[in-house]
Structure 1
Amino acid sequence: MIRLDKIGKQNGHQIVFVEASAALQRGEKAGLVGPNGAGKTTLFRMIVGQEQPDEGQVAAERGITIGYFSQDVGEMAGRSVVAEVIDGAGPVSAVAAELRELEAALADPERMDELDALVARYGDVQARFEELGGYALEGRAQEVLAGLGFSQEMMDGDVGRLSGGWKMRVALARILLMRPDVMLLDEPSNHLDLESLIWLESFLKGYDGALLMTSHDREFMNRIVGKIVEIDGGSLTTYAGDYAFYEAQRALADSQAQSQFERQQAMLAKEIKFIERFKARASHAAQVQSRVKKLDKIERVEPPRRRQTVAFDFPAAPRSGEEVATLKGVHKRYGSRTIYEGLDFAIRRRERWCVMGVNGAGKSTLLKLVTGFAEPDTGTVTVGGTVKLGYFAQHAMDLLDGEQTVFETLEGAFPQAGQGSLRALAGCFGFSGDDVEKRCRVLSGGEKARLVMARMLYDPPNFLVLDEPTNHLDMDTKGMLIAALSRYEGTMLFVSHDRHFLAGLSNRLLELTPEGVHQYGGGYTEYVARTGQEAPGLRS
């Protein structure tokens, strides 16, 4: 359906693609992977015609529809969420718009002289609308929006009042409702909670069109795609399999390439040593010349490209007492809505609690109560006297000084630390070279999250409270964080929608449901095995 044939592309001084080729066939579901800045978004934009390749061609089958979801959702305001989603539903949305205009015209007393023509046109448009399934459109739109976590009240409300994250969901819903022949989804799993993520997984599995998507969620990618297209060093390489298969194949290819490179380097060193040793001897002149010619003809094996890998080890945190945090008889309301009623909950040393529940269940509220950012209406929240608490929340990224650089932010937090130590810390969290001189105001969401985390973990607390710590993080940084936290000897309380993170780190689970609060003595993996569900209220 879509073919990229020997494309070349340069953005400024950066060469993005060099004679790169790949194809997406009808019904295929493929993942697009590559390091940040490799050209994933550029490739999407070339497929939809927003950019052109400098060389080669991007060909799409004639007559196909392409839906493109990007992180840049544009302006939305002035109509309901449902109307905004329906407006993106392809040809039927244009017919629906004309139908609304005709209804307004028929109700306009000043256009009574056009009544016969309007009625005739209305009949034609109405028939076309019905033919395109228009009368089922609103129901389908509401079904998609409900799957993505919208309440009926939100669906009926003005889309302009939504936060950026909810507008992202609206933009995604527009593409899903459209059901084009080809979907291009750039990070669709961002801004989704676990329930919405699982619903989207199911939707995309049942979608019969072609799909090309990026995602920083390993589990999400593994469950949907059967093919990986990798961008690396300007080339496109296709792997038949899911993300886990790609990782294994990539590691094997790198290992083989490294071995081949080392064997050739050993052979070259041996030949060069012989040439250097005997080049001055007339008796060996013929042999020397023969070996020089042989070396000139050898095609050099390139070493595998080194991926930038990050690793972080926690310095030892001070040991806390056994009782880390205790909530007794806690009541909490927001307006007329009761969040907690008589909650009793205790966290002991080295426990790793993940908190699960649908939107509005009180996950973030619990973390705020424990950290002191919210007060209970009645009841008590007690944190142990020897507890050193670290709290990561999304609002922490907004508190960074926009005029300070990455390095100045770390230096201000740890004035006694050496420059080398702080640069090493920055490197662990993806800020290498000149990146440490970036001002905080120009950082992306992911870069801000990494900086806040680096600042928090350098002098580690013995009690970590984390609210969606993996939002905006790429797979490599997530992997580093999971590896580091698995070696962390303190206590954790966290909320996350990333199943890889949940399964890798939790050893206790707190489930918030309308029927009450349930505590489980094992982690997320045991919870799924015991309940048969991956999230509260959803059957796996």
Structure 2
Amino acid sequence: MIRLDTIGKQNGKQIVFIEASASLLRGEKVGLVGPNGAGKTTLFRLIVGEEQPDEGQVSVEKGTSIGYFSQDVGEMAGRSVVAEVMNGAGPVSELMAEMAELEAAMADPEQADALESVIERYGEVQGRFQELDGYSLDGRAREVLAGLGFSPEMMDGDVGALSGGWKMRVALARILLMRPDVLLLDEPSNHLDIESLIWLEAFLKGYSGAILMTSHDREFMNRIVNKIVEIDGGTLTSYSGDYEFYTQQRALADKQQQAQFERQQAMLAKEIAFIERFKARASHAAQVQSRVKKLDKIDRVEPPKRQQTIAFEFRPAPRSGEDVVQLKSVAKRYGSRTIYEGFDFHIRRQERWCIMGVNGAGKSTLLKLVAGAADPDAGTVQRGPSVKLGYFAQHAMDILEDEQTVFETLQSSFPQAGQAPLRALAGCFGFPGDEIEKKCRVLSGGEKARLVMAMLLFDPPNLLVLDEPTNHLDIATKQMLIGALSQFEGTMLFVSHDRHFLAALSNRVLELGEDGHHVYGGGYSEYVQSTGREAPGLRS
């Protein structure tokens, strides 16, 4: 359906693609992977014609419809959420709009002379509208919106009143309702809670068209794709299989290439040593010349191009007492809405609590109460006297000063630390070399999240309260964070929609619901086993 043949692309001084080739066949579900800045979004833009390759060709089979979801959703205002979604449903929405115009024309006395032709055209449009199942469009739009977490009230509300994250969901719903031959999805799992994520996963698994997608959620990608296309060093390499299989194959290929590189380096060193030793001797001149020519003809093996993620290690955190936090008879209300009433909760040392619950159940509110960012309306929240808190809020990036550089931000937080430890810290969190001189105002969401996390973990607390800490983080940084937190000897309380993160780090689960709260011994994996579902609100 779509072919990229030996494409070349350069953005300014950056070479994005060099003679890169790949294909997307009918029905394939492909994951697009590569480090940040490798060119994933550029590839999407080349396919939809928003950019042109400098060399080579991008071919799309005639008649193929493409739906492209990007992180740039544009302006939305002036209509209801459901109307906004239906308006983007391709030919069906265009036919609906024309039918509305024709209906107005039929009721207009001034157009009575043209009534016959208007009625004839209306019949044609209505017939095509029925062929495309247009009369079920409203119902299908509401079904998709419900899957993405919208309540009926939100669906009928003004789309312009939504936050940026909810507008992202509207844009995604438009593409899904359109049901094109090819779905191009650039980070569709961003801004979704775990329930919406699992619904989207099921939708895409059952989708009959082709899919090309990026995602920082390895579990989400692993369950959908049957092929991986990797962008690395300007080339495109295809791997059959899911994301897990790709990581195994890539690690094996890197290991083999490294071994081949080392063998060749050893051979080259031996040959060069011979040449240096005997180049001045006339008796060995022929042998030396032969070996020089041999070296000139050798195809040099390059070491693996992939950058290894630097591991971050915690300094030992001060030990807390056994009783870390106690909530007794806590009540919390927002207006007429009661979130907690008579709520008791006890957190002990080295427990790692994962908080589960549907939207509005009070997950973030609980974290705010524990962190002291919100006060209870009744009852008490008491932290142990030796507890040192580290709190990562959903809007933690707002604390960054736009005009400060990454290094200045770290330095102002830790004035007693030397340059070397701060540079090492920045390198661990994705700011090597000159990257440390970037101003905060130019950082992406992921870069800001990494910087705040670095500040949080450098002087380690013994109680970590984390509200969606993996939002905006790429897969490599998430894995580094999981590795670091798995070595953390303190206590943790967190909310996350990333199932890999939940399973790797939790040893207790608190589920919040309308019928009260439930505690599960063991971590997220045990929760899934005991309940038969991956999140509250989902059918087992």
Scaled by the length of structure 1, the TM-score of the pair is 0.98
**2:171 equivalent in structure 1:** 171
Matches within 5 A, 1:283-322: 283-322=283-322
Instruction: Name the CA distance, whole Å, in 2 between partners of 1:141 and 1:19.
Output: 41
In the TM superposition, what whole-angstrom CA distance separates every residue of 1:239-295 from its partner, at most 9, and x where no partner exists? Answer: 001111111111111111111111111111111111211222222222222222222
**1:36 equivalent in structure 2:** 36
Q: Percent of counterpart pairs with the same letter?
A: 79
Instruction: Name the CA distance, whole Å, in 1 between partners of 2:460 and 2:474.
Output: 22
Q: Partner letter of residue 54 of structure 1?
A: D
Matches within 5 A, 1:153-164: 153-164=153-164
Instruction: Name the CA distance, whole Å, in 2 between partners of 1:341 and 1:241.
Output: 49
Instruction: Name the CA distance, whole Å, in 2 between partners of 1:521 and 1:295.
Output: 64
**1:430 equivalent in structure 2:** 430
**Retained in 2: the 8 A contact 1:189–1:217?**
yes
**2:445 equivalent in structure 1:** 445
**1:185 equivalent in structure 2:** 185
Instruction: Name the CA distance, whole Å, in 1 between partners of 2:107 and 2:341.
Output: 53
Deviation at 1:112, TM superposition (A): 5.4
In the TM superposition, what whole-angstrom CA distance separates every residue of 1:195-251 from its partner, at most 9, and x where no partner exists? Answer: 000000000010010000000000001000010000001100000011111111111
**2:135 equivalent in structure 1:** 135
In the TM superposition, what whole-angstrom CA distance separates every residue of 1:18-60 from its partner, at most 9, and x where no partner exists? Answer: 1000000000000000111110000000000100101100001
Instruction: Name the CA distance, whole Å, in 1 between partners of 2:107 and 2:414.
Output: 70
In the TM superposition, what whole-angstrom CA distance separates every residue of 1:86-140 from its partner, at most 9, and x where no partner exists? Answer: 0111101100111222334445565556555444433332222222111100000
SS at match of 2:290: helix
Instruction: Name the CA distance, whole Å, in 2 between partners of 1:44 and 1:241.
Output: 21
Instruction: Name the CA distance, whole Å, in 1 between partners of 2:350 and 2:305.
Output: 39
Instruction: Name the CA distance, whole Å, in 2 between partners of 1:459 and 1:31.
Output: 37
Instruction: Name the CA distance, whole Å, in 2 between partners of 1:390 and 1:100.
Output: 57
**1:360 equivalent in structure 2:** 360
**2:535 equivalent in structure 1:** 535
**Retained in 2: the 8 A contact 1:465–1:492?**
yes
| Structure 2 residue 523 is the aligned partner of structure 1 residue 520 | no
Instruction: Name the CA distance, whole Å, in 1 between partners of 2:211 and 2:483.
Output: 31
Higher mean C-alpha displacement, 278-287 vs 145-154: 278-287
Higher mean C-alpha displacement, 134-143 vs 324-333: 324-333
**2:349 equivalent in structure 1:** 349
Matches within 5 A, 1:483-502: 483-502=483-502
Instruction: Name the CA distance, whole Å, in 1 between partners of 2:470 and 2:75.
Output: 27
Q: Partner letter of residue 213 of structure 2?
A: M
Scaled by the length of structure 2, the TM-score of the pair is 0.98
Q: Name the CA shift for 1:196/1:100 in 2 (closer, same or farther; >3 Å).
A: same
SS at match of 2:212: strand
Q: Partner letter of residue 22 of structure 2?
A: A
Instruction: Name the CA distance, whole Å, in 2 between partners of 1:436 and 1:269.
Output: 37
**Retained in 2: the 8 A contact 1:310–1:477?**
no
Matches within 5 A, 1:6-405: 6-108=6-108, 111=111, 115-405=115-405
4+ aligned runs moved over 6 Å, structure 1 = none
Higher mean C-alpha displacement, 284-293 vs 410-419: 284-293
Deviation at 1:340, TM superposition (A): 1.1
Deviation at 1:163, TM superposition (A): 0.4
Instruction: Name the CA distance, whole Å, in 2 between partners of 1:109 and 1:435.
Output: 68
Q: Partner letter of residue 336 of structure 1?
A: S
Deviation at 1:526, TM superposition (A): 0.5
Q: Partner letter of residue 401 of structure 1?
A: E
SS at match of 1:394: coil
Deviation at 1:471, TM superposition (A): 0.1
**Retained in 2: the 8 A contact 1:354–1:493?**
yes
Deviation at 1:154, TM superposition (A): 0.4
Instruction: Name the CA distance, whole Å, in 2 between partners of 1:441 and 1:347.
Output: 37
In the TM superposition, what whole-angstrom CA distance separates every residue of 1:133-180 from its partner, at most 9, and x where no partner exists? Answer: 111000000000000000000000010000000000000001100110
Count of matched residue pairs? 540
Instruction: Name the CA distance, whole Å, in 2 between partners of 1:9 and 1:70.
Output: 20
**2:504 equivalent in structure 1:** 504
Instruction: Name the CA distance, whole Å, in 1 between partners of 2:98 and 2:122.
Output: 9
Higher mean C-alpha displacement, 335-344 vs 108-117: 108-117
SS at match of 1:271: helix
Instruction: Name the CA distance, whole Å, in 1 between partners of 2:101 and 2:192.
Output: 35
Instruction: Name the CA distance, whole Å, in 2 between partners of 1:367 and 1:382.
Output: 13
Instruction: Name the CA distance, whole Å, in 2 between partners of 1:522 and 1:317.
Output: 24
**1:419 equivalent in structure 2:** 419
Instruction: Name the CA distance, whole Å, in 1 between partners of 2:485 and 2:477.
Output: 12
SS at match of 2:395: helix
Q: Name the CA shift for 1:372/1:111 in 2 (closer, same or farther; >3 Å).
A: farther
SS at match of 2:84: helix
Deviation at 1:71, TM superposition (A): 0.3
SS at match of 2:344: strand
Matches within 5 A, 1:442-481: 442-481=442-481
Q: Which runs of no fewer than 5 residues in structure 2 stay unpaired?
A: none
**Retained in 2: the 8 A contact 1:310–1:476?**
no
Q: Which runs of no fewer than 5 residues in structure 1 stay unpaired?
A: none
In the TM superposition, what whole-angstrom CA distance separates every residue of 1:386-438 from its partner, at most 9, and x where no partner exists? Answer: 11111001222112111111111110000000011111111111011222111
Instruction: Name the CA distance, whole Å, in 1 between partners of 2:495 and 2:537.
Output: 17
SS at match of 2:256: helix
Instruction: Name the CA distance, whole Å, in 1 between partners of 2:287 and 2:452.
Output: 63
Instruction: Name the CA distance, whole Å, in 1 between partners of 2:111 and 2:364.
Output: 55
Higher mean C-alpha displacement, 430-439 vs 446-455: 430-439
Instruction: Name the CA distance, whole Å, in 2 between partners of 1:344 and 1:181.
Output: 52
Instruction: Name the CA distance, whole Å, in 1 between partners of 2:49 and 2:227.
Output: 23
CA-atom RMSD in angstroms: 1.3
Q: Partner letter of residue 482 of structure 2?
A: I
Q: Partner letter of residue 482 of structure 1?
A: I
